[in-house]
């Protein structure tokens, strides 16, 4: 997770890129990319990124970063979004720099965010309880599975009517589309279908709804 991955740091662009992404999914993404990491590699990454901060900030930043890590781990990791974490880090970093008579650049804020995330990844790797909190293999999407009963029930209901088969299928598909759109607004994901952020869930919902409408008008 280096600066090269993102090119020149632009916070507004990053926030748009991460919009709707759960922080636990952000962590899972980076864990998957770093599956071959050995013990010590994370620490080297943390140390190297810390060295990118102004020398006068490095020592006080260590305790500030530990406080940030503790604060973030106290949040509901399954629901907190990456942007929220980044804004926590941004606020704390700006305050830290101001306390020491300087102003944090976007690169400084991003580097602190990297350090915080690397430290949390290190905790996840070595803490089985924390790993079970964020890893998808241990998170059965009961909520979205239960929600599927709505379009299924709608399809079963209309199947008891004399409506043509295409209309019945179209009605069931349309109700699924409405469900996905509602999920994108209320929850921001629909994990049983692998939809892990608000944008993808909304796009899928609109596509499914349009499919149902088109099929119903054939």
* Per-residue pLDDT tens digits of the chain, which is 218 residues long: 444 444 567 888 888 888 888 888 888 777 766 554 555 677 788 889 999 999 999 999 999 999 999 999 888 877 888 999 999 999 999 999 999 999 999 999 999 999 999 898 888 877 777 777 676 544 566 678 888 888 898 888 888 888 899 999 999 999 999 999 999 888 888 878 888 788 889 999 999 999 999 998 87
pLDDT at 194 (0 to 100): 80
Q: What is the pLDDT of residue 138?
A: 44
pTM of structure: 0.59
Enter the tokens of residue 211: 């499919």
Structure confidence at residue 1 (pLDDT): 47
Q: What is the DSSP string of the chain?
A: --HHHHSS--HHHHHHHHTTBBHHHHHHHHHHHTTTPPTTHHHHHHHHHHTTS-HHHHHHHHHHHHHHHHHHHTS-TTT-BHHHHHHHHHHHHHHHHHHTT----HHHHHHHHHHHHHHHHHHHHH-HHHHHHH-GGG---HHHHHHTHHHHHHHHHHTTSS--HHHHHHHHHHHHHHHHHHHHHHTS-BGGGTB-BHHHHHHHHHHHHHHHHHHHT-
Task: Tell me 8's DSSP state.
Answer: S
95: Cβ–Cβ under 8 A, 6 or more apart, which residues?
none
Cα 92 from Cα 94, distance rounded (Å): 6
* CA dist., res. 118 & res. 53, Å (int): 15
């Amino acid at each position: 997770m280096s600066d090269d991955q993102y090119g020149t740091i632009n916070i507004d662009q990053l926030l748009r890129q991460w919009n709707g992404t759960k922080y636990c999914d952000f962590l899972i993404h980076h864990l998957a990319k770093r599956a071959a990491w050995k013990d010590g590699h994370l620490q080297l990454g943390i140390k190297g990124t810390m060295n990118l901060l102004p020398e006068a900030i490095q020592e006080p930043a260590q305790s500030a970063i530990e406080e940030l890590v503790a604060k973030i781990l106290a949040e509901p990791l399954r629901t907190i979004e990456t942007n929220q974490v980044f804004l926590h880090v941004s606020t704390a970093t700006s305050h830290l720099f101001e306390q020491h008579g300087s102003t944090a650049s976007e690169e400084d804020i991003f580097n602190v965010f990297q350090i915080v995330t690397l430290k949390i990844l290190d905790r996840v790797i070595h803490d089985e309880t924390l790993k079970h909190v964020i890893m998808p293999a241990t998170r059965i999407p009961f909520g979205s599975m239960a929600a599927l009963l709505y379009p299924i029930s709608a399809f079963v209901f209309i199947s008891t009517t004399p409506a043509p088969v295409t209309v019945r299928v179209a009605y069931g598909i349309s109700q699924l589309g409405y469900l996905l759109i509602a999920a994108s607004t209320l929850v921001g994901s629909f994990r049983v279908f692998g939809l892990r952020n608000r944008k993808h869930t909304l796009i899928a919902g609109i596509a499914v709804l349009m499919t149902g409408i088109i099929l119903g008008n054939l």
